[in-house]
Amino acid sequence: MRNWYFSILAGLLLIGLVACNNNSINDSEEIAEETVVATSTDGDITKEELYEAMKIRFGEEILRELVYGKVLSNQIEITDEEVQERLDELKEQLGPQYELALRNSGFKSDDQFIPTLTVSMLQEKIGMEAVTVTDEEIKEYYDQLKLPIRASHILVEDEQLAQEIKAKLNEGEDFSELAKEYSTDATAENGGDLDWFGPGRMLTEFEDAAYNLEIGEISDIVETMYGYHIILLTDKEEKQPFDEVYEQIKNEVRQNKVMADPTIVETAVQEALKDANVKVLDGQLKNTFTTED
């Protein structure tokens, strides 16, 4: 779902140019005031020239975002708090790559990106409202839900050495100290601590073994492409009662359905545009909302 956050091309700084006239612009209309936006010894660049150039290059993307923002915000409510929460989540997911992704998408700051993020959230939300889910689907999702866990591991390249370490653990030796002594990855200095992680973050073999442990339990030897692991489960989040998280789970199920079928959002947005009687009067942009059958 969230792969569209950086999909709209650069040009948000020019929204003011696109929307400089409350009336739609058609081919025969002219901008009355030729405001100069840049000068040089070889000639000036006017607002009209800049507008026309940007309309050709980015016009449909910008117009689409502006119209979506106006139409969808009249049907769907997105609060500033929700937008900020999603932005924080995106930053956490991308980590140090966030700033690079932002710049590569043509945004210089969060303030420039937030309008685009808001529109994408409006699209997501209107798609989710078009989805129907049953109580059976919600309960099944809840039953299969894997919450974050915290684990430590000892990783070695040799199976025989792994067996020897496992024997030491069975005799009561300290897991953290053995990890510092034998483990071959960067977690060794922290006693093998992997911190918290959720489903999909580790290799399948590792994840399956870790999620089958109880707190304080040590796994058998687990082989992955990196070598041989011995895993200690140190903590885990407990599920809240079903009735307390019903609405949250329901939203997650709906969101997963939308993620699995992008046409849900497309259809919902097109219906909203149809209800709003959107018409594009500028001939160069007339196909902005045209969809193929």
pLDDT in tens, 163-217: 999 999 999 999 999 999 999 999 999 999 999 999 989 999 999 999 999 999 9
CB contact at 8 A, 288 and 280: yes
The pLDDT value given to residue 50 = 84
> In this structure, are 22 and 82 located in the same domain?
yes
Structural domain including 222 reads: 146-236
Read off the tokens for 44: 């000036």
> In this structure, are 11 and 129 located in the same domain?
yes
Write down the mean pLDDT value for the chain: 85
Long-range residue pairs from 18-27, CB within 8 A, at least 24 positions apart, any chain: 18/51, 18/54, 18/55, 18/59, 18/62, 18/63, 18/66, 19/66, 20/47, 20/51, 24/279, 24/280, 24/281, 24/282, 25/281, 25/282, 26/281, 26/282, 26/283, 27/282, 27/283, 27/284
d(CA 153, CA 182): 11
Long-range residue pairs from 116-120, CB within 8 A, at least 24 positions apart, any chain: 116/5, 116/8, 116/12, 116/65, 117/5, 117/83, 117/86, 117/87, 117/90, 118/69, 118/78, 118/83, 119/8, 119/65, 119/68, 119/69, 119/72, 120/2, 120/4, 120/5
Q: Is 77 helix (H, G, I), strand (E, B) or coil?
A: coil
Is 92 a domain residue? yes
> In this structure, are 98 and 184 located in the same domain?
no
> In this structure, are 18 and 63 located in the same domain?
yes
> In this structure, are 90 and 157 located in the same domain?
no
Is 226 a domain residue? yes
> In this structure, are 116 and 151 located in the same domain?
no
> In this structure, are 119 and 212 located in the same domain?
no
Mean local confidence (pLDDT), 109-116? 90
Is 140 a domain residue? no
* Predicted confidence (pLDDT) at residue 8 exceeds the cutoff of 50: no
Read off the tokens for 36: 């100069």
CATH code of 176's domain: 3.10.50.40
Q: Where does residue 151 rank: exposed (0-12), middle (13-18), buried (19+ CB within 10 A)?
A: buried
pLDDT band at 32 (very low <50, low <70, confident <90, very high): very low
CB contact at 8 A, 189 and 177: no
> In this structure, are 251 and 182 located in the same domain?
no
The pLDDT value given to residue 1 = 31
* Predicted confidence (pLDDT) at residue 22 exceeds the cutoff of 70: no
The pLDDT value given to residue 19 = 33
Instruction: Domain count for the chain, please give it.
Output: 2
Is 171 a domain residue? yes
> In this structure, are 11 and 113 located in the same domain?
yes
> In this structure, are 192 and 267 located in the same domain?
no
Is 292 a domain residue? no
The pLDDT value given to residue 136 = 96
Read off the tokens for 84: 């900020």
Read off the tokens for 70: 């106006």
**Would you tell me the crossing angle of helices 159-170 and 175-182 to the nearest 10 degrees?**
160
> In this structure, are 214 and 73 located in the same domain?
no
What angle is formed at CA 250 by the lines to CA 4 and CA 91, rounded to 5 degrees?
A: 35
Is 209 a domain residue? yes
> In this structure, are 93 and 27 located in the same domain?
yes
Domain boundary among 200, 218, 236: 236
Is 293 a domain residue? no
pLDDT band at 282 (very low <50, low <70, confident <90, very high): confident
